[in-house]
A and B are shown apart, each in its own frame.
Chain A
């Protein structure tokens, strides 16, 4: 348990992740599912960024010509978080566009109703 206190940022990331995961699974509304997935993205970003942090060191922007590795935090996770943010934005936009199309067709955002309506439509054809 003591490691939870020292690793509190990671624990917060995991709590955020589980909030997102649970809402992704348990909500029937498609938009709420997408919000849950976004919260999960944020949690992963937080986790990655916290992995790169080193106590008492500054951001990796060279100041006064000091180029020693011991004076800056790890710059690699920051670059990876950037990738993660871009991908999550793209995926969110795509999912929302699909949701808009589904809503235009079935006039509901409930997954179960969409499923039943779609099956009924196939059956009638």
Chain B
């Protein structure tokens, strides 16, 4: 059984093609055949009607009685502590709050000169604190890998069939035509947000999320087979890993030269131009690629068990 599914996964594209070519009756036949046999590991499990009831009457009942009260009291206690804290916080929006210290002053007054970014938040997260953002990108990448590990096993034939039939909007003409109109606008806006991250509100994370939403919309409207021409497992891995490696290496170079007061080949340029702000533009593109791929990867993994 396992061997069979593995060979099927390998010739994924050919399989989907053959699905599209073949008639509906073959699909229904496979559906019926798939619904019949129970997965083998299920038979080992107890039937959870009576067994669970029997156990619940014995051991878990006492815990069940105590737990809601204890949880409620704990929640009340935490709410009370937090409300007391809130009543002693400095006034909301006051301009002498302790959060406005010399660090903030330095960021605001010298940020544009030192980083070249007009958008000071981008200047902070991709220049002063670029190491933090590198960690964030790796967190996203690691989460995608973990989800891949967890859900890839669950890829069964049944899910393939569901992808083609039940929850697929690809056959819906209205939806597909809507996607045809919306998709270029969404992708263009995403690219704009990524590229202008250092000049206007936006950046790699928000623009990447928009691009990922565009990819998801495309895969819903035209099916995963069409989206796989752009983002498949190979290009997914290549894009993400190349982006992360470029980020790490370029930032390592910039940290090395900066810490040792060496002359760097990266200049910050004229603030306000699109090719300015040193490394911030390429780093934004890297982050955007990682975020877009991860968003689409999550969706694809949850919907059909593979990228």
* Chain A complexes with chain B: yes
A54 at the B interface (CB under 8 A): yes
**Given A62-B112, A124-B44; 17 other pairs, CB 8 A cutoff:** A14-B79, A22-B71, A61-B120, A61-B200, A68-B108, A69-B108, A74-B100, A75-B120, A82-B136, A87-B136, A90-B143, A93-B144, A94-B147, A116-B52, A116-B55, A120-B51, A124-B46
Chain A residue at smallest Cβ distance from B136:
A86
For A89, list chain B residues within 8 Å (CB): 140, 143
Which of these binds chain A: B83-91, B187-195, B239-247?
B83-91
Q: Which of A47-85 contact B (CB under 8 A)?
A: 50-57, 59-62, 67-70, 72, 74-79, 82-83, 85
Whether the Cβ atoms of A100 and B129 lie closer than 8 Å is no
Docked complex Cα distance between A72 and B72 (Å): 42
Q: Can you give 10 contacting A-B residue pairs, CB < 8 Å?
A: A6-B92, A55-B94, A67-B110, A77-B99, A82-B205, A85-B205, A86-B139, A93-B298, A113-B48, A120-B46
| Contact mask for chain B residues 103-130; partner A; CB cutoff 8 A; 1 contact, 0 none | 1110111111100001111001100010
Contact A55 B108 (CB under 8 A): no
Is A72 a contact of B82 with CB atoms below 8 Å? no
CB of A116 within 8 A of CB of B147, answer no
B68 touches which of A26, A94, A116 (Cβ 8 Å): A26
Considering only residues 95-123 of chain A, those with a C-beta below 8 Å from chain B are 96-98, 100-101, 104-108, 112-113, 115-117, 120-121
Q: Does B146 contact A (CB under 8 A)?
A: yes
Closest B residue to A53 using CB positions: B93
Q: B154: CB under 8 A from chain A?
A: yes
Say whether A26 contacts B71, CB under 8 Å.
yes
Any A CB within 8 A of the CB of B75: yes
Number of interface residues of B (CB under 8 A): 70
Within 8 Å CB of B104, what residues of A? 69, 74-76
Interface of chain A, main secondary structure: helix
Q: How large is the interface on A (under 10, 10 to 19, 20 to 34, 35 or more residues)?
A: 35 or more
Question: In the complex, which residue of chain B has the Cβ closest to the Cβ of A98?
Answer: B150
| Interface contact A97-B86, CB-CB below 8 Å | no
Contact partner of A3 (CB less than 8 A), chosen from B87, B107, B271, B301, is B87
Q: Which of B14-67 contact A (CB under 8 A)?
A: 41-42, 44-46, 48, 51-52, 55-56, 60, 64
The answer on a CB contact under 8 Å between A7 and B51 is no
Interface residue ranges, A against B (CB under 8 Å): 1, 3-4, 6-11, 14, 17-18, 21-22, 25-26, 50-57, 59-62, 67-70, 72, 74-79, 82-83, 85-87, 89-91, 93-94, 96-98, 100-101, 104-108, 112-113, 115-117, 120-121, 124
A-chain residues with CB within 8 Å of residue B44 when the two chains form the complex: 121, 124
Contact B201 A93 (CB under 8 A): no
Q: Is B142 an interface residue (CB 8 A)?
A: yes
Separation of A115 and B64 alpha carbons in the complex (Å)? 13
Closest chain B residue to A21 by CB distance?
A: B75
Shortest C-beta distance, A50 to chain B (Å), equals 6
> Which residue of B60, B78, B82, B97 is within 8 Å of A116 (Cβ)?
B60
Other-chain contact of A61, B79, B92, B201 (Cβ < 8 Å):
B201
In the A-B complex, the 3 residue pairs with the closest CB atoms: A90-B143, A55-B93, A25-B71
Nearest-neighbour CB distance to chain B for A26, whole angstroms, equals 5
Query: How near does chain A come to B79, taking the closest CB pair, in angstroms?
Result: 4
